[in-house]
Structure 1
């Protein structure tokens, strides 16, 4: 919530949705504090979807986000998914590109101001 919602004046609880119960969640802890999170949803056509990915600003660039994405990819691959999709904010495009994701297209505008881009990754090299 602190990273993905609060800066845009979204109410507490807006980070929750109907997929919370069926999704695989990942959290990175440091000294009992959550400093990174991510979620794996089942998309369609046997693809997983990374959602609600965030790392506290002070810890970005330390490998935490990469570890979370790798964990989510491993979980997705273990259940038999063919690949992964996600909708990245503009400031995260380079991060996902370094992890092997390809830009597909401009997607939606969140909260009327945060441009997102559809990215995808196939697991052809990981099976």
Structure 2
């Protein structure tokens, strides 16, 4: 019987805090593991991101440290609807819903989304668009 060594962050303990410490800058998600077609990404955020949406997938935000605000807009959402998350809390933004994450102070997150999802959503790429599949 042969032993298979995983290259997708499986079969091992992953220290999320240590991985996040390796990231320079904010809004630069990095993959730490995969499960089926889903990626687990860590990221440091501060300030406001842009409004964007993912037409074909939900997006999960889990706050590890700090406080995250996620503004939502679109059909079925009242004006100025905001989800506020603190350490140990999570939220799922449904596919197709425009959202704008932000944090007044540095906040550390774990994101769960399908492989290949562009961090800036379905719109045109800009200075905040990060290349996919960057592992740390």
Which of the five TM-score ranges fits, normalised by the shorter chain?
A: 0.3 to 0.5
Give the TM-score taking structure 1 as reference length.
Answer: 0.32
Give the TM-score taking structure 2 as reference length.
Answer: 0.31
Greater Cα radius of gyration, structure 1 or 2: 2
Bigger relative contact order, structure 1 or 2, given CA contacts below 8 A and separation 6+? 2
* Structure number with higher helix proportion: 1
